Amino acid sequence: MKRSLVMLAVAFAAVAAIPRAHAQDAETEKAIEKYRAMLREDPWSNPGYLDADRGEALWTTRAGPKNASFEQCDLGKGPGKVDGAFAELPRYFADADRVMDLETRLLWCRETLQGLSAADYVKRPHPAGGQPVKEIGAIATYVASKSSGQKFAARLDRPQEQDAVALGETLFYRRSGPFDFACATCHAQSGLRIRLQGLPYLAEKKEASKVIGEWPAYRVSNTHVMTMQHRLLDCYWQMRMPELQMGSDASVALIAFLTKQAEDGEIAVPGLKR
Amino acid sequence: MRITIAILALSFAAMPAPAQKKVDPARADTAIKAAFPTAPADWASRLTGDETMQQCSASHNNPAKDVAAAIQKREQGTIVYPPDNNFMGDWQKGERLAQSGYGLRFTDYPPRQANGGNCYACHQLTKNEVSYGTLGPSLSEYGKLRDFKPEAVKAAYEKLYNSHMAFPCSTMPRFGANKILTIEQIKDAVALLMSPESPVNTGK
């Protein structure tokens, strides 16, 4: 089983090692179609499961100056409780006195439990194209996959959480950068596309609840798992903004808003994306 | 008819007014500043957006009448015209810049080529290019539909330079005012739209 997964991943790496170029969009679409057909036959053939497995191993591996694992990490349901934890994130954590999404919480656990610097990690938190998702991303894939089949059930009703959702909504409509873009420029209408890439209508609950629960997702055009924090960085890149810092309040606020938009949506991690 | 559609589409983002609880603009500025710690000093203006963008963001691109009028006036004032009042350049160069999305991303430094306009990301233009986006209206036969009139040539230049003069809170980038494209490049894009020889109008 594990073996065939690896082979699949390798086979698809060849198809999907395609540059961003728009002219290749059609080919990427074809590659995705192939993937989807395979996933219908065998849902476990999504290469993202390799990273979920790697994440599960990392969760129990001792590391850092404190020689500790993630097993005492409290994702909101108590230390070490992973099942269903992602479905209730983002949330306010009293110990850190801030709202955190899954990746930000993992970053915090890594620092407090293992003694590894979050500031260092966020200097290069995301993989280059073709490189596997990094440590926190792999663990996030594992943790989120343990909520698959459940519905988003983040409360988002504590004052700090309401604040985060409101800030996220404001940022979603905030136009800036040399192109004057906001998230809403590309994600506030249904059925539109950039070149041939479809743009999900995230300002509306119906479409948001279909796609937000699919992250982290295996991204065919980059042949790796991409996390939600990485996705947002990439959208800001298109907006000609600087590099979004992983775990920043703005990033958490946007994820809180998107999760609110997707409430009652089903979680299906790892997803599969273009 | 076509023109009304274009107007509608350019100013489309007329969305319901914000329903969320009010967020202090200073709070959003602080969060954004903290979220982009690697921004070079000369990128500071990218983080906030100018007065026009602040007004468009606050109203979800649906500004009240008086605000819209103020935006139009302010943005009209940014437009710099070619000294010889010749608005048309070379449509072939225009086609190249319409295809190119290069420029101003953090991976584009130091610059390796001229910025593109990336028109095809949002608009249909020539028949041959089937990979076009639909965020903006189709610009197929743009000049032909306007009888290649000199006023339409000038208006196209103005829309590319700063679309908010015609459509306050338009979604289109202010290619001239924000220095994305040079005056010469904007003229080339105008030629792509308005020249009778351009494939946008010949259909070839």
ipTM: 0.90
Residues of chain A short of pLDDT 70, as ranges, are 1-26, 28
Q: Which of A245, A221, A216, A252 is nearest to A130 (CA)?
A: A221
Q: Cβ neighbours of residue A198 under 8 Å, at least 6 residues apart?
A: A191, A192
Q: In this complex, how many residue pairs, one in chain A and one in chain B, have their CB atoms less than 8 Å apart? A: 138
* Beta carbons of A131 and A197 less than 8 angstroms apart: no
Chain B's closest residue to A172, CA to CA, is: B57
- Number of C-beta neighbours around residue A156 at 10 A: 22
A194 Cα distance to chain centroid: 21
In B100-203, alpha helices (H): 142-145, 150-161, 183-194, 199-202
Q: What is the CATH number of the domain that holds B120?
A: 1.10.760.10
Instruction: Check A242 against B43: CB less than 8 A apart.
Output: yes
Could you tell me if residue B104 is inside a domain? yes
Residues of chain B short of pLDDT 50, as ranges, are 1-18
Confidence at residue A6, expressed as pLDDT on a 0 to 100 scale: 41
| B-contacting residues in A 17-76 (Cβ below 8 Å) | 22-23, 25-26
**Domain span including residue B171:** 91-202
Q: For residues A80 and A77, what is the distance between their CA atoms, to the nearest angstrom? A: 8
pLDDT in tens, A61-119: 999 999 999 999 999 999 999 999 999 999 999 999 999 999 999 999 999 999 999 99
Q: For residues A233 and B38, what is the distance between their CA atoms, to the nearest angstrom? A: 13
> CA of A36: how far to CAs of A11, A27, A184, A186, in Å?
15, 14, 29, 25
> CA of A135: how far to CAs of A142, B13, B109, in Å?
11, 40, 28
| A-contacting residues in B 73-112 (Cβ below 8 Å) | 104-107
- Residue A183 is a catalytic residue: no
Q: Does B43 touch chain A (CB under 8 A)?
A: yes
* Beta carbons of A52 and A138 less than 8 angstroms apart: yes
Instruction: Check B36 against A237: CB less than 8 A apart.
Output: no
Topology of domain A43-273, CATH: Cytochrome Bc1 Complex; Chain D, domain 2 (1.10.760)
Confidence at residue A165, expressed as pLDDT on a 0 to 100 scale: 98
| A-contacting residues in B 46-65 (Cβ below 8 Å) | 46-49, 53, 56-57, 60-61
Task: Give just the sign of the alpha carbon dihedral A253, A254, A255, A257.
Answer: positive
* Beta carbons of B183 and B176 less than 8 angstroms apart: yes
Strand partners, A226: A217
Confidence at residue A259, expressed as pLDDT on a 0 to 100 scale: 98
| B-contacting residues in A 140-179 (Cβ below 8 Å) | 162, 165-167, 169-171, 173-179
Instruction: Check B133 against A244: CB less than 8 A apart.
Output: no
Could you tell me if residue B79 is inside a domain? no
Q: Does A118 touch chain B (CB under 8 A)?
A: no
Confidence at residue A39, expressed as pLDDT on a 0 to 100 scale: 76
Confidence at residue A173, expressed as pLDDT on a 0 to 100 scale: 97
Q: Which of A262, A238, A248 is nearest to A183 (CA)?
A: A238
Confidence at residue A274, expressed as pLDDT on a 0 to 100 scale: 84
Closest by Cβ to A240, choosing from B13, B105, B174: B105
Confidence at residue A206, expressed as pLDDT on a 0 to 100 scale: 94
Confidence at residue A225, expressed as pLDDT on a 0 to 100 scale: 98
Q: Cβ neighbours of residue B123 under 8 Å, at least 6 residues apart?
A: B132, B133, B136, B137, B138, B139
Q: In chain A, what residues touch B23 (CB-CB under 8 Å)?
A: 166-167, 169-170
The domain ranges of chain A are 1-41, 43-273
* Beta carbons of A194 and B135 less than 8 angstroms apart: yes
Strand partners, A271: A217
Q: Cβ neighbours of residue A199 under 8 Å, at least 6 residues apart?
A: A186, A187, A189, A192, A193, B135
A246 Cα distance to chain centroid: 11
Contacts 24+ apart (CB under 8 A), A233-239: A233/A126, A235/A183, A235/A186, A237/B105, A237/B106, A237/B107, A238/A181, A238/A186, A238/B105, A239/A176, A239/A177, A239/A179, A239/A181, A239/A182
Q: Does A248 touch chain B (CB under 8 A)?
A: yes
Q: For residues B12 and A52, what is the distance between their CA atoms, to the nearest angstrom? A: 42
**Domain tally for chain B?**
1
Confidence at residue A24, expressed as pLDDT on a 0 to 100 scale: 57
- Whole-model pTM: value is 0.91
Q: In chain A, what residues touch B171 (CB-CB under 8 Å)?
A: 180, 185
Residue B192: strand, helix, or coil: helix
Catalytic residue among A73, A109, A183, A235: A235
Could you tell me if residue B56 is inside a domain? no
- Give the tokens for residue B166: 């015609």
Q: For residues B125 and A267, what is the distance between their CA atoms, to the nearest angstrom? A: 39
Q: Does B4 touch chain A (CB under 8 A)?
A: no
Angle made by CA atoms B171, B177, B180, in degrees to the nearest 5: 80
Confidence at residue B82, expressed as pLDDT on a 0 to 100 scale: 97
Q: Does B120 touch chain A (CB under 8 A)?
A: yes
Q: In chain A, what residues touch B47 (CB-CB under 8 Å)?
A: 176, 241-242
